[in-house]
Structure 1
Amino acid sequence: MKTLKSIIALLAIAAIIVSCGEENEDPQTEIAGTVSIEFDNFVGSSMVNLKETGSTDYNYTTTEGQAFNLIRVQYYVSKIILTGENGEVFEDDLNVSANADEIRGYYFIQESESASKLIELTDVPAGTYTQITFNLGIDEEGVQEGAAGGILDPATGAPFWNWNAGYIGMTVEGQTDITDDKAFAIHVGGWKDIVPDDGTTQKFYNNVKTITLNLDVDMNVSETLEPEIHIVADIQKVLGNIDFTATPQVHSPAAGRVFADNLQSAFVVDHVHQ
């Protein structure tokens, strides 16, 4: 009988310990929030104002003093990661599918479509975040031969060259009175390096860039706090010191390398709304 009473007592003590342990768990570990990311495009200090095809209203000037305007600005953002100094990590879920409704983690930012410039991340663990990282372009996880749908579907307008060259990660098109046809097009893409075995000039390069930006404040995420990160892309910095006379058209990974190298400095966090 004493043995039975001892067992019952031990079980009761164990139940109390487990109950206390559950009660002491930090409730924040079960809480998640929402973070929005807004992209705005500028040329220097001026917000991008798209013109119609054929317009001779040149509202911008390159660093070389050449007048130009813009008719198209668009780029792919993917692999978004938020991190904090106390170990907080959020990685946006990625999925490529032939079904447009099943595409996750890939975003096609288009200046001509305001709704596309706002990304909403859900189920972000509560915590304090200080940095955002994302890919500019589509890397090997998103390049599936003949399988991608939605915003990755070439049949519905996704800017895709071919299997070896992949997607155009950044498109900047416009008009200038410098070129013979009064137009320019800078397409930056490419997802893998292919080095020829025969010693010929390399044509295919990986121009997907990973961009890491510090937030201007410590960003708090919780069930009741839904902050917004405001990111600005400076198209002037993407173009760099371009001379439209020498480089009016860029339509290959090799030609786009110099512009791909400009992408990290072209994006900045302007501010965070808490």
Structure 2
Amino acid sequence: MKITKYIVACFIAISITACSSEDEEIITGEGKVTLEFDNSYLTSDLLLSTASYSANESEEITISDVKYIVSNIRLENSEGEVFTYPKEDSYFIISESDTDSQFISLSNVPAADYTKITFGIGVDQEKYLEGATGQGDFLTLAQDAGMMWSWQAGYKFFVFEGLYTSDETTTETAFAFHMGSHGSSVDNYKEVTLSLTNTARVRTTSTPEIHVVADLSNILSGTTTFLLDDAAQIHVDAVKSPQIATNVNGMFVVDHVHN
């Protein structure tokens, strides 16, 4: 009986040691994270140029273009530790017309259980003030994507374009909201922090996917309400651009995490 108890005790001890070793091995090293940015309009998937959406009680819109810059990505784990993705690699353009652009792959992420994500919308002043030569390949990428007014005027952080009709404007009329910082004089760069619906378990052998949904209806009916009959074209505007930036900041939620 004593021998049996001894064998059982040894088996339990070995099992615990093996499990502990296995757990320790799993949460060391580095892995990858995929971020998916999925644009919607209220509860509907966003469809460019083919679907009509209600902007408010009197206006209908058809959206033809949506682009925005995502930058300065940080992940916070369950211990409160923050991993900052290398700044020089942390500028991306999300385009509704380019499916590949909607997936961001982050590499060399420390293995951990992550519970929060933070990212910026646009280009921060620190980066902009590095000058044109300090932007690296991103400057050309932004120019090719139509995400700059000019170097002096700065980057477009957010582009939202299409056609609208209303009770007053029955003929389809173009609208365009372009938001960004105005050179170094007006800073509209903002950051978004979102709690994950469940932990993103980064391991050397598994890559979680964080699915972020952006509800574009928030642009016209967020903290500030915009009527297109009153303001269909907003580009460089000292009053309305910061209001658009706040609305953009509020359009993101984490829908789910795939592990």
Asked if Structure 1 and Structure 2 have the same fold, meaning a TM-score greater than 0.5 normalized by the shorter chain, the answer is: yes
> Structure 1 228/191 Cα, relative in aligned 2: closer, same or farther at 3 Å?
farther
Post-superposition offset of 1:93: 1.0
Matched, 1:176 2:164: yes
One-letter amino acid of the counterpart of residue 35, structure 2: I
CA distance in structure 1 between the aligned counterparts of 2:53 and 2:62, rounded to whole angstroms: 6
Post-superposition offset of 1:58: 5.7
* Partner of residue 146, structure 1: 132
CA distance in structure 2 between the aligned counterparts of 1:264 and 1:159, rounded to whole angstroms: 18
Contact 1:58–1:67 (CA<8 Å) still a contact in 2?
Answer: no
CA distance in structure 2 between the aligned counterparts of 1:242 and 1:227, rounded to whole angstroms: 37
* Partner of residue 91, structure 1: 84
Contact 2:219–2:244 (CA<8 Å) still a contact in 1?
Answer: yes
* Partner of residue 235, structure 2: 251
* Partner of residue 36, structure 1: 34
> SS of 2:165's equivalent?
coil
Post-superposition offset of 1:89: 2.4
Give the alignment of 1:1-274 within 5 angstroms. Answer: 27=25, 30-51=28-49, 59-95=52-88, 104-143=89-128, 144-147=130-133, 148-153=135-140, 155-163=143-151, 165-178=153-166, 182-190=173-181, 194=185, 205-240=186-221, 241-254=225-238, 255-274=240-259
Contact 1:150–1:156 (CA<8 Å) still a contact in 2?
Answer: no
One-letter amino acid of the counterpart of residue 159, structure 2: T
Pairwise CA RMSD: 2.2
Larger radius of gyration: 1
- The answer to which of 72-81 and 255-264 deviates more is 255-264
CA distance in structure 2 between the aligned counterparts of 1:135 and 1:126, rounded to whole angstroms: 23
One-letter amino acid of the counterpart of residue 177, structure 1: T
Contact 2:27–2:112 (CA<8 Å) still a contact in 1?
Answer: no
- The answer to which of 143-152 and 219-228 deviates more is 143-152
Which segments of structure 1 move beyond 6 Å, counting only runs of 4 or more? none
String of CA shifts for 1:152-210, please: whole Å, max 9, x gaps: 2255344212445421111100001245771100011116663xxxxxxxxxx211110
> SS of 1:141's equivalent?
helix
CA distance in structure 2 between the aligned counterparts of 1:158 and 1:58, rounded to whole angstroms: 24
CA distance in structure 2 between the aligned counterparts of 1:92 and 1:191, rounded to whole angstroms: 26
> SS of 1:161's equivalent?
strand
CA distance in structure 2 between the aligned counterparts of 1:30 and 1:227, rounded to whole angstroms: 16
CA distance in structure 1 between the aligned counterparts of 2:211 and 2:94, rounded to whole angstroms: 14
Structure 2: 5+ residue stretches without partners = 1-20
Q: How many correspondences in the alignment?
A: 227
Percent identity for Structure 1 against Structure 2: 35
Structure 1: 5+ residue stretches without partners = 1-22, 52-56, 96-103, 195-204
- The answer to which of 156-165 and 213-222 deviates more is 156-165
> SS of 2:101's equivalent?
helix
TM-score after normalising by structure 1 = 0.76
Contact 1:189–1:253 (CA<8 Å) still a contact in 2?
Answer: no
